[in-house]
Amino acid sequence: MDRLACVDLPALPLQLLVRRHPDWKGAPAAVVDRDAPQGEILYADAEARREGVSPGQRYGTALALCPRLCAGEASAADVERAVGEVADLLERFSPEVEPSADEPGVFWLSAAGLERLHGSATSFARDVRRALGEIGFEAGVAVGFSRFGTYALARSLKAAMATRSPEEERAAAGRTALAGYDLPPSAQAALARLGVVTVAQLLALPPAGLLTRFGPGVHGLALAARGDAWRPLDPRAPSERFAAEIALDYADADAERLGFLAKGLLHPILARLAARREAVAELELRIDLDHRPPLLARVKPAAPTLDARQLVELVRLRLEATELGAGAVGMGVTARAVEADPEQLRLFAEHKKRDLDAANRALARLRAEFGDAAVVRARLTEGHLPEAQFAWEPLERAAFPSSARAGSAPMALVRRIRARPTPLGTRPAGGPQGIHLGGLADAPVSAADGPYVISGGWWRREVHREYYFAKTKNGRILWVYFDRRRRRWFLHGEVA
């Protein structure tokens, strides 16, 4: 029998609201249908329930019971977007994912054969739960053999588990409490008076009178528990993800440089969308922080667009307004696409990423004003030292690089090398804010990466250089080295 898994995100709208307001952590929280005194409480967390708040109350009444209650709205669009986000994540673990049409936050997955990839079915469930936790969702995950059995265990335990046989699953599901299911309070109270508080006790009742005495909710639960409402897994059609990501060589918290990286990730996505006649309705930005959980942010243009400049500006503004708390070691961009307006497609085609004719016209103007020697290009040469590894030659016409690989990520950072290294001094100057490589007039160094040693040159003259990337407190990244033979520091370039 094929294995099946169920993922349950309890009170998904409430989890969305708490994820949107991390400062609410530890405080009583609730979801209301509208932010007004007459609004109705739809969901309340455990802390709010202890204060007397419960679903069905008016918002004003709940505030009177719990003055420190944090409440807000979670729209249907927000919930639908979260369901899509979770389904996209679950498709990394299983090719067949079915979101529940009746209960947003409940998903079924095919787990056939996946225990071989994860070591065991229990490890598979733990890996899924851990991945959901990393994006801010609490979930119960159960691996078993039936829809209802996995659903009952995922909902009741709120942990990760797997059953070894259908009999074990059936017995465990029978022990789950009816209070954990969305049954009408009147029906639960009537069953409790009869001493029926678990699924197994419900199944012991005569099935004929359940619908008449307790209503369709209890009757439907009994049908599902017996397996009479069985239906095969109906996975959603996997959606194509328009995403790109990059890993950084070192942690970087500068918003301007991170925006430049996002721009490089965005251009290939826009080209793919334009080919499909689609545009970006929303961008999700994921920033992998150094020794911290990843940070997620969303930006939404005023209208679906293919304008890279507009999207990059929104990303830059969001980054500048976000306190990272640590350096970024990676970044990912995911686009949510909708059908593009024909005018958007025409503008995208007219404004290509690279226009060689326009570039050659600009170069011609430079040569006309400053002479032929003003336009040159670097040609690689054989040399031991960095300044001897290239030479300049005249450039007649610009052309695309023939060695560029299709789909390769663009270079994010450019090292600008000085033709002659600039002497800085025999030792860095010490100031109240730290070390100053270029004297107290320059910004102090906040971090340095190195040394990267270049030595040798016995065929001409002995060379021993210790190179460093020095980041200053004003955001510059200097490429400096210490010459052992001369016992002096030199500035050889800058990273921009």
Q: Find the CATH number of the domain harbouring 333.
A: 3.30.1490.100
Q: According to the model, what pLDDT value does residue 352 have?
A: 55
Q: Is 128 contained in some domain?
A: yes
Residues 70 and 136 in one domain: yes
Q: According to the model, what pLDDT value does residue 173 have?
A: 92
Residues 292 and 331 in one domain: yes
Residues 142 and 210 in one domain: no
Q: According to the model, what pLDDT value does residue 126 have?
A: 92
Q: Decide: 451 and 470 in contact? Cβ < 8 Å.
A: no
Burial of 15 (0-12, 13-18, 19+ CB in 10 A): buried
Q: Is 390 contained in some domain?
A: yes
Q: According to the model, what pLDDT value does residue 49 have?
A: 92
Q: According to the model, what pLDDT value does residue 197 have?
A: 93
54's tokens: 């419960």
Q: Is 345 contained in some domain?
A: no
CA distance 319 to 287: 10
Residues 46 and 157 in one domain: yes
Residue partners of 336: CB distance under 8 A and separation at least 6:
280, 281, 282, 283, 284
Residues 251 and 320 in one domain: yes
Q: Which of 39, 37, 48, 38 is nearest to 11 (CA)?
A: 48
Q: According to the model, what pLDDT value does residue 102 have?
A: 86
Residue partners of 335: CB distance under 8 A and separation at least 6:
242, 243, 266, 269, 273, 280, 282, 283, 284
Residues 159 and 99 in one domain: yes
Give residue 188's domain range.
177-226
Last residue of a domain, one of 144, 168, 192: 168
The answer to pTM > 0.95 is: no
Q: According to the model, what pLDDT value does residue 311 have?
A: 87
CA distance 213 to 335: 50
Residues 9 and 87 in one domain: yes
Could you identify the residue written with the tokens 């678990």?
Answer: 198
Residues 403 and 421 in one domain: no
Q: Is 465 contained in some domain?
A: yes
Q: Is 233 contained in some domain?
A: no
Residues 50 and 159 in one domain: yes
Q: According to the model, what pLDDT value does residue 406 have?
A: 47
pLDDT means per 10 residues in the chain (496 residues)?
88 91 88 90 92 92 93 88 88 88 91 76 91 91 93 90 93 92 88 92 88 88 84 73 85 84 87 84 86 82 82 84 84 82 60 68 75 80 79 79 52 72 78 69 80 75 86 86 86 84
Residues 191 and 305 in one domain: no
Total domain count for the chain?
A: 5
Q: According to the model, what pLDDT value does residue 238 have?
A: 59
Residue partners of 435: CB distance under 8 A and separation at least 6:
428, 429, 444, 445
Q: CA 44 → CA 13, 86, 139, 376, distances in Å?
A: 10, 22, 17, 67
CA distance 465 to 448: 16
Residues 13 and 119 in one domain: yes
Asked if the bond preceding 451 is cis, omega within 30° of 0, the reply is: yes
Residues 135 and 35 in one domain: yes
